[in-house]
Amino acid sequence: MTENQDLPAGDDPRIEGPDHSVVWHAFTQMADYQPFIIEQADGCELIDTDGNRYLDAVSSLWCNIHGHNHPTINAAIIGQLQRVSHVTSLGMSNPTTVELAARLVKLAPDGLEHVFFSGDGASSVEVALKMAFQYWRQCDDPQPEKSLFIALGRAYHGDTLGSVSVGGVARFHQMFEPLLFEAIHTAIPDRSRPPEGVREEDACEHYLGELERILEDHHRQTAAVIIEPLVQGAAGMVMHPDGYLAGVRRLTRAYNVLMIADEVAVGFGRTGTMFACQQEEVSPDLLCLAKGLTGGYLAMAVTLARTEIFNAFLGDPSRTFFHGHTYGGNPLAAAAALASLDIFEQEQTLQHLPATIEHLERCLHPLRDHPLVADVRQRGMIAAVELVEETADGRPLPAQGQSGAIVCQHALQQGVWFRPLRDILVIMPPLSVSCEQVSRIVDALAAGIDQLASQLQHAPCQEN
Ligand SMILES: *Cc1c(COP(=O)(O)O)cnc(C)c1O
């Protein structure tokens, strides 16, 4: 920070140049990349190098929970810094990490009593997949033929090869097909777009029926079903029918298959309860948590496991789980995570959520009738506004994927930062967002969509 203070404000070529030429950004076409550099943040606002403020409408990609630069989390990290910054979790430990593990077990659905630390969401999924696989080889009634995973259509579980193997977003995953292990994918259990001939109220039963047919045929070879509970984020904020999650739990039990819940995105209050599984009183066999774990401060992830699974790894050295991440359980990150959990209590975060969720719903309501809006959906503090593919008079919107970006560009000028999923505009601000800020976020989005509409009116008919 001190070094930066003597830098001139504005488009500083000393930062923007290397940001373009040296830094290779994630999920970004670098040929088109425009530097956008945040130097500071304050509560729900990001501040760029020119001093412009933007509301963080997507919680810095699901991570931020209580706002940026929160004094409680800052103090916890500083306090930990003065004790120890890193202790390996390979055969040893430290008090902060132990305290966090115990606290997570208390909060998590019943039966998840063991905590394995890693560094990011994809790793927490890799851990769950490998634990499930090894479990079936070492449990009391070994079933070494159980090697297969069942995943949902258009699932997203991270970008390492194991997590990509259970993923189903063609745009991200197709390229790596030859490197992946086999997984069976169901149709995506989309509550608002059931298949032809299936009524919306029958969608849950329909999707569970499909999963049951797959299990009937393959349960003997299947190690686990992996699911993003309630909402599939990267698939486009696809929301499951009520009862689907509980149905998956029932079927996995009935067919003797483990259930892995990937709450990397939806955990920590995002859907209105601490964990999404709690909305359908589901306790999975393995639970993956990451993004919001440290309140959006430091990289940390966990995989929680049931005692039966943990016990299968006890005994002689060959039964050990030979897997680890060097920084797993890092005390600084653990201190941030504990502080985040403290804030949930001190600020009564979950208790305040219903009012914010309802306000968001009210703000979004008028957008349902906008001619460029195909769908508005919401689950807790996750909302999606999906744009139509063409206007009522049959004009196509700018080439697929561009309309969302255009709307977000307009919204940025109104002081709100969004990151779209192609033509799906996503709203998932920090849980600490005020109702006034929610209104500003939705207003900026609506203004952006209006600007897109007027741009279309003035554009000559496009061919694309
Ligand atoms: C983001 C995400 C991951 C991957 O987490 P990383 O920390 O980016 O590796 C896994 N699962 C879900 C559901 C996610 O949204």
Domain-ending residue, one of 312, 327, 346: 346
* Nearest atom of ligand 1 to the alpha carbon of 290: 7
**Same domain flag for 166 and 48:** no
Short-list 232, 57, 262, CA closest to 154: 232
**Same domain flag for 122 and 262:** yes
pLDDT at site 2: 38
**Same domain flag for 336 and 353:** no
For residue 204, tell me if it sits in a domain.
yes
pLDDT at site 164: 98
> Are the beta carbons of 74 and 297 closer than 8 angstroms?
no
For residue 192, tell me if it sits in a domain.
yes
Q: Probe ligand 1: pick from 124, 160, 291, max atoms within 8 Å of CB?
A: 291
| Ligand 1 center from residue 4 Cα (angstroms) | 32
pLDDT at site 463: 47
**Same domain flag for 117 and 225:** yes
| Ligand 1 center from residue 197 Cα (angstroms) | 34
| Ligand 1 center from residue 288 Cα (angstroms) | 9
pLDDT at site 11: 65
Question: Which residues, judged by CB distance below 6 Å to any ligand atom, belong to the binding site of ligand 1?
Answer: 120-122, 125, 156-158, 228, 233-234, 262, 264-265, 290-291
**Same domain flag for 153 and 222:** yes
Beta bridge partners of 225: 150, 259
Domain-ending residue, one of 318, 346, 374: 346
* Nearest atom of ligand 1 to the alpha carbon of 266: 13
Average pLDDT over the chain, rounded to an integer: 94
- How many domains does one find in the chain? 2
How far, in Å, CA of 87 to CA of 90, rounded?
Answer: 9
> Are the beta carbons of 303 and 197 closer than 8 angstroms?
no
Closest C-alpha residue for ligand 1 atom 5: 121
Give the residues of the chain that fall short of pLDDT 70: 1-11, 460-464
Locate tokens 């109220």: which residue? Answer: 201
For residue 305, tell me if it sits in a domain.
yes
| Ligand 1 center from residue 301 Cα (angstroms) | 10
Q: Probe ligand 1: pick from 58, 62, 264, max atoms within 8 Å of CB?
A: 264
Residue 202's Cβ-side half-sphere holds a number of Cα atoms within 13 Å equal to: 8
pLDDT at site 461: 54
pLDDT at site 1: 37
| Ligand 1 center from residue 156 Cα (angstroms) | 7
* Nearest atom of ligand 1 to the alpha carbon of 291: 7
* Nearest atom of ligand 1 to the alpha carbon of 163: 10
pLDDT at site 434: 98
**Same domain flag for 124 and 55:** no
> How confident is the model over 321-340, as pLDDT tens digits?
999 999 999 999 999 999 99
For residue 315, tell me if it sits in a domain.
yes
Domain that residue 286 falls in: 72-346
Give the domain CATH number at 414. Answer: 3.90.1150.10
Q: Probe ligand 1: pick from 156, 163, 237, 297, max atoms within 8 Å of CB?
A: 156
For residue 1, tell me if it sits in a domain.
no
For residue 6, tell me if it sits in a domain.
no
Beta bridge partners of 224: 149, 258
Within 10 angstroms of residue 98's Cβ, the number of other Cβ atoms is: 14
> Are the beta carbons of 54 and 417 closer than 8 angstroms?
yes
Domain-ending residue, one of 284, 319, 346: 346
**Same domain flag for 96 and 25:** no
**Same domain flag for 406 and 325:** no
How far is Cα of residue 156 from the mean position of the Cα atoms in its chain?
9
Its pTM stands at: 0.95
pLDDT at site 10: 54
Short-list 306, 299, 301, CA closest to 267: 301
| Ligand 1 center from residue 464 Cα (angstroms) | 33
* Nearest atom of ligand 1 to the alpha carbon of 232: 13
**Same domain flag for 323 and 360:** no
* Nearest atom of ligand 1 to the alpha carbon of 125: 10
| Ligand 1 center from residue 454 Cα (angstroms) | 36
> How confident is the model over 29-80, as pLDDT tens digits?
999 999 999 999 999 999 999 999 999 999 999 999 999 999 999 999 999 9
Give the domain CATH number at 88. Answer: 3.40.640.10
> Are the beta carbons of 207 and 152 closer than 8 angstroms?
no
For residue 399, tell me if it sits in a domain.
yes
How far is Cα of residue 233 from the mean position of the Cα atoms in its chain?
6
pLDDT at site 59: 98
**Same domain flag for 99 and 141:** yes
**Same domain flag for 117 and 235:** yes
pLDDT at site 124: 98
Dihedral-angle region of residue 26 (phi above 0 means left; psi in -120 to 50 means alpha; beta otherwise): beta
| Ligand 1 center from residue 44 Cα (angstroms) | 22
**Same domain flag for 142 and 260:** yes
Closest C-alpha residue for ligand 1 atom 12: 157
How far is it between the farthest Cα atoms of the chain?
Answer: 73
**Residue 141 CB-density burial (10 A; 0-12 exposed, 13-18 middle, 19+ buried):** exposed
For residue 158, tell me if it sits in a domain.
yes
